[in-house]
Amino acid sequence: MAGSTHPYTVLDVFTDTPLTGNPLAVFTAGELIPSRLMQAVARELHLSETVFLLPGDGEADATVRIFTPQSELPFAGHPVLGAAFVVGAEHELERVRLRTGAGIVPVTLMREHGAIVFGEMEQPLPSVCAFDRAGELLSALGVDGSLLPVEAYTNGPTHVMVGVADVSGLGVLEPDLAAIAKLGPLGIDCFAACDPGVGSPAPGAGSPADVPARVRCRVFCPGLGVPEDPATGSAAGPLALHLARHGRYSPGGALEIIQGAEIGRPSRLVARVEGPPDSPARITVGGSAVVVAEGWLRAG
């Protein structure tokens, strides 16, 4: 059999329960895989994202290249968190700095009995603008309107926010994915109204009294080759900022985001915005991850 073999680890991210959350493949010696093959490898595995770990430098512990089955991304949340778990475990780090196409992303890791149980990343601050094809998008989603303005947030990838009336309405969405794909390589984040003060304390969210607000969401990414994403870390920070900008979430507190239940992959993300909504100082997103498989792929 021709070709080299390359080790990889599969993690379920934004969960602590195997076979839930968002699966991710991390190639731990990505520098040995030719760049020309990375997209084909991601397409072969056909997960939401595949990460190739490359050597670090004086500023970063590792460099990551992130691919969906269809394209390379400068930044994405669950690949960065999952990669940080792998790098942190291998090198026994409490804080991992990963170089992405959108800059260096620091991830703080928390352990219990020596095992990493939670990670919190500081995300790139997004740019914000009105989405000029809102009518087409709402028609493709099959909804009459959005509870809040339809706006696009870019922190590497671009996510468009659409507010749905309630959780039941969110659950029965049957979007026209082909029509959404024609809008471009976007994530479409549909969320139900948040419920302040509901939920149990979130790991990494601060003191036991720091009870998070809670919101449910679904994220559709057919233009990136992912019909519906189980957990979208890159959208979680912008969603918290969107809610803060429109008075539905108070900055400084934890926002618990529940995603993926509709496709059998329940996930839990914890986002936080610090500073004024019109000029945030810092946005973090955290969650858990668990290793579910290890293997070798033949390519090159």
Please state, in angstroms and rounded to a whole number, the distance separating the CA atoms of residues 235 and 267.
Answer: 13
Q: Whole-angstrom Cα distance, residue 84 to residue 102?
A: 16
Mean pLDDT for 124-149 is 97
CA distance 71 to 73: 7
Rounded to the nearest integer, the mean pLDDT of the chain is 92
User: What is the secondary structure of the chain as a DSSP string?
Assistant: --SEEEEEEEEEES-SSTTSSEEEEEETTGGGS-HHHHHHHHHHHT-SEEEEEEE--SS-SEEEEEE-SS-EES--HHHHHHHHHHHHHHHT-SEEEEEETTEEEEEEEEEETTEEEEEEEEPPPPEEEE-TTHHHHHHHHT-S--SS--EEEESSSEEEEEEESSHHHHHT----HHHHHTT-SEEEEEEEPPBTT-SPPPTTSSSTT-PPEEEEEEEEEGGGTEEEES--HHHHHHHHHHHHHTTSS-TTS-EEEEE-GGGT--EEEEEEEES-TTS-SEEEEEE-EEEEEEEEEEE-
Q: Which of 44, 49, 112, 122 is catalytic?
A: 49
CA distance 269 to 230: 11
**Same domain membership, residue 115 and residue 64:** yes
In angstroms, the CA 75 to CA 92 distance is: 24
> Has residue 299 got a pLDDT over 90?
no
Q: What is the mean pLDDT of residues 274-300?
A: 95
Q: Which domain holds residue 158?
A: 127-286
pTM attached to this predicted model = 0.90
- Considering the domain architecture, whether residues 158 and 281 belong to the same structural domain is answered as yes
Q: Are residues 94 and 202 in the same domain?
A: no
Assign residue 52 the CATH number of its domain: 3.10.310.10
Asked if residue 115 and residue 148 are part of one domain, the reply reads no
Assess whether 262 and 294 both reside in one domain. no
Pair (81, 180) in one structural domain:
no
49 an active-site residue? yes
Question: What is the total count of domains within the chain?
Answer: 2
Round to whole Å and give the CA distance between 116 and 113: 9
Q: Are residues 255 and 154 in the same domain?
A: yes
**Pair 146, 185 in one domain:** yes
Give the span between the Cα atoms of 161 and 148, in whole angstroms.
8
If asked whether residues 161 and 275 sit together in one domain, one would say: yes
Q: Are residues 250 and 295 in the same domain?
A: no
Is 232 in the same domain as 152?
A: yes
The two tokens of residue 240 are 């918290």
User: Are 189 and 144 part of one and the same domain?
Assistant: yes
Q: Residue 205: pLDDT band by 50, 70, 90 thresholds?
A: very low
What is the length of the chain? Answer: 300
**Look-up of token digits 């602590």:** 16
Residue 105 and residue 277: Cα distance in Å, rounded?
21
Which of 7, 18, 13, 19 is closest to 52 using CA atoms? 7
For 35-59, how does the pLDDT look when each residue is reduced to its tens digit (9 = 90+)? Answer: 999 999 999 999 999 999 999 998 9
Convert the pLDDT of each residue in 160-189 to its tens digit.
999 998 999 999 999 999 999 999 999 999
| Res. 115: pLDDT tops 80 | yes
* pLDDT number for residue 300: 73
Distance CA 167, CA 109 (A): 32
